[in-house]
Amino acid sequence: MTDTLSDLLCRHIATASWESLPDPARDGARSAALDAIGVIHAASGLAPEAAPFIALARANGAGPCTIIGTPYRVQPLGAALANGALAHAVDYEDALDRAPAHPNASLVPVLLALAQSQGPVDGRRFLTALAVGGDIACRIALSLRQPMEQGGWYPPPIVAAFGAVAGAANLLGLSPQQTRDALSLTLCQVTMPGEIKHSRCTTLRAVREAFPAQAALTAAMLAREGVDGFEQPLEGKSGFFALYAGGQFDTGDLTERLGTHFWGGELTFKPWPSCRGTHAFIEMALDLSARHGITPSDIARVEVSVDGIQSMLVDPLARKQAPATAIDAKFSIPFTTALALMRGAVRLDDFDAVSLADPEVLAMAARVEAHVDPRPTWQPGVGGAIRITLTNGGTFEAWLDNALGCPARPLSPAAQRAKFLDCVGRAAVPVLPEAASRLADAILGLDTVADVGALFQPPA
């Protein structure tokens, strides 16, 4: 019989090994691990939105798995839930610019939970699962030919769940059949309505990765226990693509160079802790201010040109000029641009309650006007143009096809390391500089580590 699409993908997931990974996939997995683990640490100290998830994980009992950045050890499902909540909470995790995917925000919490509960798990096994899972999430996102938003869905956490379960299946050594079962069981659980974008006061958008992380781990563990799934969880008559994309997908994006090209080697690592769609405007505002000596008092008006994807970052304009929550501020081009112009930087500390109420930042954000006017060379969702009009009538303009951090303009290894060190120093239990440097070295050399889980034990 001819293999189905699900057969092909599940066999790849189940059989991929460290020896089969090309060097860019190995390097991408190391970088993704460093970035994700740093960001989770930072959120543990900066994201009160995650506190209920941590409390629930603790209430379900002590266990072998660390809630990263805290002194707490809990059961695996609780760890996936809590670390998943932390993984996106400060909106600083990696992204795939070409499609709506943050492939590692659910995946890394799942793999950490498995490394500490199914261990010892060596670094090569961990990195292989990370490369495989991240690639599957990216391939699914790239293959969509009908936007998931058209059906009222919010894509990133849904797509991430399937990458997370793929990584879990690989790490657990599930067979191709069990992997297919795990994908099926994920389909039975994962959802994320587009309403998450529209509510003014909810913080669910910050902690959204808690749900796919817990779902993926649950699915993989049930599949290992023998729960049967569907024959075609992805392409079936009522499978993933039918439910979420009206059946409109490209098989080639799922299968082309499968096993030889891994999209985890082409991710963006964020230089600023906000939605990727705000980054072009932050970069341009910082650059124009520095090059032309523009001070906040010089500025009369700021006009930004966005594309249709970025319209959610400027609409409704009044809300985006004065966001009520940290996560809404991170999803606001007016607010993040105002931070760049007023403070000369956009940092983890700039989204606290004091910043949200800062009258000078809010006054600058109120001067930001938005127009949907994309240019054909922009990377969709991440390019942009800006015009700053001064009180004396002068103007300065800039545009970017893609912002700093993308594969064509990547953060340097030194900048990635500096980001990690800054993040882990902000944890609920901060990692001191010397220990932080050792941890960075260990993660970047993870393929030589015999027990990944042991790296993340909380201090005694």
8 A C-beta contact, residue 51 and residue 69: no
- Computed on alpha carbons and rounded to an integer, the radius of gyration of the chain in Å comes to 21
The phi, psi pair for 301, rounded to 5°, reads -155, 150
Identify the H or E element spanning 366: helix 359-366
Beta-carbon neighbour count of residue 318 at 10 Å?
A: 9
Task: Say which DSSP state 95 is in.
Answer: B
CATH topology classification for 5-271+420-456: 2-methylcitrate dehydratase PrpD (1.10.4100)
Q: In what order do the strands lie in the sheet with 395-400?
A: 368-372, 299-306, 384-390, 395-400
Identify the H or E element spanning 166: helix 155-172
Collapsed DSSP state (helix, strand, coil) of residue 391: coil
Q: Indicate where the chain has its CATH 1.10.4100.10 domain(s).
A: 5-271+420-456
Separation CA 66–CA 86 (nearest Å)? 13
Task: Say which DSSP state 249 is in.
Answer: B
DSSP count for the chain of H helices, then E strands? 20, 6
8 A C-beta contact, residue 383 and residue 280: yes
Superfamily of domain 276-400: 2-methylcitrate dehydratase PrpD (3.30.1330.120)
333: left (phi over 0), alpha (psi -120 to 50) or beta: alpha
pLDDT of residue 2: 82
Q: Which residues of the chain fall short of a pLDDT of 70?
A: 1, 459-460
pLDDT of residue 1: 62
8 A C-beta contact, residue 229 and residue 182: yes
pLDDT of residue 131: 98
**Amino acid residing at 92:** Y
302 contact partners, CB below 8 Å, separation of at least 6: 285, 337, 341, 364, 367, 368, 369, 386, 387, 388, 389
Beta bridge partners of 144: 249
pLDDT of residue 119: 83
| pTM of the complete model beyond 0.95 | yes
Separation CA 325–CA 48 (nearest Å)? 11
Span 9-21, pLDDT tens digits: 999 999 999 999 9
187 contact partners, CB below 8 Å, separation of at least 6: 230, 233, 239, 240, 243
Separation CA 459–CA 71 (nearest Å)? 7
Question: DSSP characters for 100-143?
Answer: TB-TTTTHHHHHHHHHHHS----HHHHHHHHHHHHHHHHHHHHH
**Amino acid residing at 390:** L
Q: Indicate where the chain has its CATH 3.30.1330.120 domain(s).
A: 276-400
pLDDT of residue 98: 94
Identify the H or E element spanning 65: strand 62-66
